[in-house]
Structure 1
Amino acid sequence: MKEKIYLLPGLMTDERLWERLIPFLEDEYELIHLPIPLTDDFDEATLQLESIIKDEKINLLGFSLGAYVAIHFTIKNPSRVNRLFLVAGTPSKMKESEVEKRKQTLKQMNNMGFKGLSRHKVISLLEESNQNDEELISIVKNMFSDLGEKVYNIQMNSTFKRKALHNELISLDLPIKFFYSTEDRLFTHRSLDNFTDEHKHITKVSRKGTSHMIPLEVPEKLSFEIRDWMK
């Protein structure tokens, strides 16, 4: 029987986030997609995940917003998680300046109507080497459009309610791995300063580049890091 890995996506992403990663891992592991619960309350999201996940103990991987949800779930249920993998995500709260910026974006989008992401915006989110990948551009654009305005509002509102969970993460007695791009503008790099060499259960691995959408942009490298984490 294959060992299972539960996967939580990020803001305005769904199971399509994993479609380029799956071929590298499906022969070795059973990959189980968990949609982010439709709530802006992290305690409620954790309760919903507790009822959805039937296995007593799991390997949990979260991407971006999903990484924060995974952290929150693990802190509330430390006995139910074997190991934790955080892709392009941290346990930090959002800076007030970023909260205000996002609130303005949310207000503007609600006033003007939900139009999804423009092609130009999608391209700006991708690493330069991937900006001519039409399939990739379509995946990102379509996930955002298909999830729609209701999900966008709920997930954006949830980001305003993030609390710093560094101390709680440090206190966990299980293997934790961060994987991120060195120049990712959406990643809170300063958050990692909280984790030092004395925290032996926490591993920080970076890759040179700007990619935030790591599961779609560098799936082979991610799969290598996942195998290492599972061992």
Structure 2
Amino acid sequence: MFAAQLKRFPDASAIDGFGACDSIVEMARRVIASGPEKMALLGHSMGARVALEVVRLAPERVKKLALISTGTHTVREGEAEKRHALLALGRTEGMAALVDRWLPPMVAPARRADQQLIAPLHLMATQAGIDTYAAQITALLGRPEVESLLPNIACPTLVAVGAEDEWSPPEQHRSIAARIPGAHLKIIAKAGHMLPAEAPDALNEAIADWLDMPVGSNTMMGDDE
């Protein structure tokens, strides 16, 4: 997922290996245990929820925060049923069948037949396996309340989303950015939920601007749509 970002920012590292973790809090504790003492912390989708939990548990460790293609709402009506239906599909027909149904809406409509984009994402999700997927579903459905945390975030914060994200739409990110003091909102054209892979150059530019912000400042001028 982050290949283009790791290439552009060679001093960065990906914190993954959540594996059987089935709670956002447990995932956040792994980040705290394995990450550097001071982190410019970027999370995508569920990873952004993990990043917010890191801020809650250890705010002194996070010098900058980037929330990409995510949400801060609690579990919505019908969400559990939809997630469990996908899980049931994976258990009965295999992980590839689950990903066949789950992945297309995660990218911009014009890119859904682009195998150069889709094939590696499909492989990544399929190789994760049904047990990891099940653990993530448990974590997401048991996610902690986080919206009350947003006004207390005091580090430079980037909130970024693809303009064609159907899973976590731009309006959701406008609300998140509005609640974090000084947050910068970046809406990137022609990209969906898999923003780091769909529009790597545009996202990398936003990340570079965020990394250039001085620590101790949470002011980034204006929104960029």
Structure-2-length-normalised TM-score: 0.82
1:100 matched residue in structure 2 = 81
**Which segments of 5 or more consecutive residues in structure 1 lack a partner in the other structure?**
1-16
Match of 2:138 in 1: 157
How many percent of aligned residue pairs carry the same amino acid? 22
Preserved CA contact (<8 Å) 1:91 1:191: no
Q: Distance in 2 between matches of 1:205 and 1:58?
A: 21
- Tell me if the contact between 2:73 and 2:145 (Cα under 8 Å) persists in the aligned partners: yes
Whether the 8 Å contact between 2:23 and 2:143 is mirrored in structure 1 is: no
Corresponding residue for 2:65? Answer: 84
1:147 aligns with 2:128: yes
Equivalent in 39, 64, 67 of residue 45 of structure 2: 64
Of 186, 197, 208, the residue aligned with 2:167 is 186
The aligned amino acid for 1:224 is E
Task: Provide the C-alpha distance between the structure 1 equivalents of 2:100 and 2:86, rounded to a whole number of angstroms.
Answer: 17
2:158 aligns to what SS in structure 1?
strand
Mark the CA change 1:199 to 1:42 in structure 2 (over 3 Å): closer, same or farther.
closer
1:136 and 2:117 matched: yes
Across the aligned residues of Structure 1 and Structure 2, the Cα RMSD in angstroms comes to 2.3
Matched residue, 1:48: 30
Shift >6 Å, 4+ stretches? none
User: In 1, Cα distance between the equivalents of 2:195 and 2:173?
Assistant: 19
Does the residue aligned with 1:32 lie in a helix, a strand or coil?
A: coil
State which of 179, 187, 194 in structure 2 corresponds to 1:213.
Answer: 194
Q: Deviations over 1:166-212 (max 9, x none)?
A: 2212212211111002331110534643553x853322221233511
User: Structure 1 CA distance, aligned partners of 2:176 and 2:196?
Assistant: 25
Displacement, 1:114? 3.4
Please, what TM-score do these two structures have when normalized by structure 1?
0.80
Residues 1:125 and 1:51: Cα distance change in structure 2 (over 3 Å) = closer
Shift of 1:121: 5.5
- Cα distance change on mapping 1:227 and 1:40 into 2, 3 Å: same
Q: Which structure: greater strand fraction?
A: 1
CA offset at residue 108 of structure 1?
3.5
1-structure distance, mates of 2:79, 2:101: 21
Which among 4, 19, 27 is matched to residue 3 of structure 2?
Answer: 19
Q: How far apart, in 1, do the equivalents of 2:173 and 2:5 lie?
A: 26
Q: Per the alignment, in what secondary structure is the counterpart of residue 84 of structure 1?
A: strand
Q: How many residues align?
A: 210
Equivalent pair of 2:165/2:192 in contact (CA under 8 Å)? yes
> Could you list the runs of 5+ residues in structure 2 that have no partner in the other structure?
213-225
